[in-house]
Chain A
Amino acid sequence: MWMQQLINGVSLGATYSLVALGYTLVFGTLGIINMAHGEIFMFGAFFGLLLAETGVLSAAAMLAVAAGGAAVMGLLLEYIALRPLRRWRGGHLTPLISTIGVGIFLRSLALHLFGPESQVFPAALRGGNYRLGGAVVTEVDLVILTTGLLLMLGLWLLLSRTKLGKAMRATAENEATAALLGVNTEAIIAVTVVLAAALGGVAGALVGLSFAVSPTMGLPYGLKGLSIIVLGGMGNVVGAMAGGLILGFAEVITVQLFSSSWRDAAAFALLFLLLVVKPEGLFGRAHQAGGKA
């Protein structure tokens, strides 16, 4: 049974991690929390579903469409809700409020476009199950876990090994200095927001594939994603991945050892305890790469 709960924890945690990656990327570079991330995540799921409903039953194509659609939304978010505020030097709170607004708008839009009902992906795309020493693993779980690991690896390589990553880190460290040194910071910020949105879209499509798609699906995941980046260290990619898995395990273990009605309470109590011991988060540094603090 512990084998099954282990698998449950990994697959739940992996979905959390995927959501958290997008948050952490934007926070790391811009020092703001994108409250519309959960809704972009939801739209990603709907983009994937729309493609699947046209009869294209390929997980790769579905993820590509979800990422592409969400990336376009990220670009719009940057140009409509973030960039104008930066020009007015609104501080940290204004983009928080404006992204909350975008989130509410997107949720209402989804309700109008797709209706309030939950929808599921065609069974053919969801694949089957594998048995692993008495425990059950679904094909979707494996896809989520591999995608999560690959995206984390890619992101880490991008940030630490490429020139673009260097520019992103420089912008995060100090936007003005980076601009003085010849980094096109506005373009770097746009790329970051678009990349984060694309990650959110992929996460949404995977969660939708695993469970169901509905206009409100972004809310709980958004909340969990936020807690995870606090847990993992704001702006830290490895921290987001590890934080997601820890939260997933904490929830599953609470259900197994205590009671399911304590599921969220115990998971968040653990988060609280970790932060008391290590206020900067698991992988955070005292002076965070978020830079703006």
Chain B
Amino acid sequence: MSGAGEIRIALPRGELRAELATRLRAAGFGVPGYGEGSRSYRFEVEGRPRVRVRVFSEADIPIQVALGHYDLGITGRAHIDELLVRYPHDSAVPLKALDIGESRLVLAGAAGSSLKRLADEGVLRVATELPNLASRFLARARVPDYRLIEVWANAEAWPPEDADAAVVASERAHSEGLAELATLHRGSAWLLGNREALTGRDLAEALAPLLALPAGDGAAAGPSDPLPLALRPGLRRSPATLPERETLRVAVPDGHAQRHTVAALAAAGIAFKGYEEDRAVRYPESAMEGVSVKVMRPQDMPRAVALGLFDLALTGRDWLAVYAAMFPASPVVELCDLRRSAYRLGAVVPESLPAESIEQAIAYWRRDRPARVIRIASEYAALADQYARDRHLGRYRVIPIAGASEGFVPEDAEILLEGTETGTTLRANRLRMIDVVMESTNCAIGHRRPPPGRRGELRSELVRRLADAASGRR
């Protein structure tokens, strides 16, 4: 909750951070520590004691401002519109375009393809991190049948073989060798405000310097309205659930899990050229005949396996659990535990909370108000929902978040459902895990039904080698 007279500002982490910090300083709104990428999530503003800054992932800022948790915020316009096209409440007000973070989102596909041809030929599969903007565009283009593959990140990794198109920034499309099929959205970073705060509270101490930040070029910002496509009538044939192919397709992760996966593969005597501890290309090469490899986000692997796009994927058991909570009938199973990258996933609360168990914590929060809503913030929204049901939280609300999670408690949520390897980050933020939900390691996953013929043999062989290495028998 805001202190009396306090002005709360939500600023982005990530790509905007360094440039924004420079401009804030120049505008007389210095936020010491913000631009240096400090692991802290809360900052003060030089010479402005009433103003508090909290750092969020860009995607989380519009909803925080719309809910009134923060009075003002700065984030990419695409994230603001992703909220407003689906939930057109007027509480989040875009105020001013800034001269940083200019981006054009495009629908990108294989070179030589066109949106009309793809939509005419069959069900259009679109990978996207921004499903609301994507579905708005596709509805307005009158695409008769489409499937949105809602990915956590790196949508550009999906086309052309795993999706027909992806919603990505134009420069990412080009760097991935994809062609632009249509422009979906334009915009830079924007200052936005909460309507109620703007109309009823004195925010001038923060608003005046933020409004003085250099303005964008004035080009129209927002979602594009495409021309309706003239397409043949009729439903499209759904994509095959288990496509035929000759090669065994293997997905390996980038990011945090990459180092552990390279080690697990090496222990099993497997090496993919171009997939090393400190570097990865999109398509590493396998020395094993009949095996093709692709690098993608581990979060998105269970879905890719369920869709039949990959025969084997190396991901985390936490992501498999998240996926199973969303789609319990999905045909994806764990094939073997790689026993690496171990960490605990559980309910995190402030260190100072006078409770030793989640039951005591619930009783404490509801000691005066029995009907109080308990808020659980998590990147693992489906697991948070499951957790709330399993622990009989009663009236609860899941707040899906995109990151910078340790900053959510205690102000913006009672519980954070979060993973921790060593507990260092939690301790640094004066948090502790009060209830462990699962112990996660990385694992190999596959379709419940093994692929036919040689592909099936190859999958069994790889899984056997990985399992042997993991159990130390090799």
Real binding pair: no
Chain A residues at the B interface, C-beta cutoff of 8 Å:
none
Report B's interface with A, CB cutoff 8 A.
none
